[in-house]
Structure 1
């Protein structure tokens, strides 16, 4: 696996988790695909503490993140000694903090465009790299450890995040529910957190396996399901579950509310909007379609995928 692909895979796991919920991979899908399981040294959906232990050095986190962002996934790619923290906002996209051993001098040679700037911690380099596209990059060194911020944020905002790394208390991250610790109660635990029984789809693309993670919300918890199997032949898919009002959630979670369109799901009203997103299946992808609907009174589901709308609706209709 190439280093750039590893970074792409970390991006794909927007809402990381550490378990596969039993019964989520079904055979009634009409789609066919060959599956590439994750390499043994690629760990997605682990805690920052676990990633630090695997990497062999403490991973420092920012105490400041822009409003609306939260830590969605922590990963470790052993082949590259690379820890990646992915911060997600459904309105603003995502940014990543990658940490590995290295030197700023060597990193400077990897930039296609670069500018030196001064952080509280010392010298840093900002600009662009070949493997980060149009995203802005900010790199600095801390005692032989390279920290790299990548995302669609302004340099000034990246610098503000960088200056907070290792200082103060990091904002709360996802609560990862582990199969090892919770066994058959995993789905029940997540349901208890959110306040109603979680429904999962029985119709998924062949080879897709879903994982679950609980994230803190301002008013209530949110549960996310995402595809755990990493393959360039399997489309990306995430399901966001929370309490709320259907129309408010449909228009309030997307960066461009004017693009939201009303549709139907069976005999019920649903809404289609576009969410920021990437995919190992389609490296050029910058946004994914999201179908928002009510699975029960006040029980809001959004299925986000690069699949066609009709396929997303079939997945929605298979929730049990």
Structure 2
């Protein structure tokens, strides 16, 4: 293991040369610390001196999501590169992409450092790192365990662990409630400049195929790359719902339910103010298909000028 630790810095340097960007690539946030450091405790500890900042914003949940807009991928970020013994071929176009996998996060250790796109990493901005998605690009990240969803700007490369799909900023992970776990299962979907899923029937012939993500059923609880090394479950999908709001006070959710009914936005499905894990979530469903749920979410957005997301239960 000591030999492997000594080799990793050199391998990461080779990855930087392959990228051609001359910018830093973050090591794994969940990688064990050098033997000179004390091991992190089972609860509340972070490897590599990472973790929350000393003076976080008063209400991180109110930090706005990234706003998608039309951007051209950086040419240097489309070049094939290698990291930790594996070769990656980034996408050169904004193409359909949807995967489920493990998300991890990085915080104060990398705050203020340059990302692979040349931008400065801000742990309180809504950003993320991905091995092959265009830099920059935008994705919606959803935590299927609690239905929380955020939009982040992909501006960095990583993570390079086989069982990880995406690295998130501290703020994005906080809003998804992944901070305490260190990592968790998420759904990642590429968005166009209007914030809608990219649904082109076929990717351009010149675009390289994305590397396959590990199937969730292959993730063993004892081998998870999170800082706490705790099991991450993959909840079964049994139906599509539209979540319109999440509240700490039940009365706020009840008022939203009344508004939905008064505007005839819940005529054909059940609408409920569902309580789970300290939060009241207003959701409609189940819908018989994802397409029906997305159509209902879009109608709610247009009618009430509020956010509505498709979640699975």
Taking CA–CA contacts closer than 8 Å with sequence separation of 6 or more, which of the two structures ends up with the larger relative contact order? 1
Same fold (TM over 0.5): no
Shorter-chain TM-score bucket reads under 0.3
Tell me which protein shows more strand as a share of its residues.
1
Task: Using structure 1 for the length normalisation, give the TM-score.
Answer: 0.23
Task: Using structure 2 for the length normalisation, give the TM-score.
Answer: 0.24
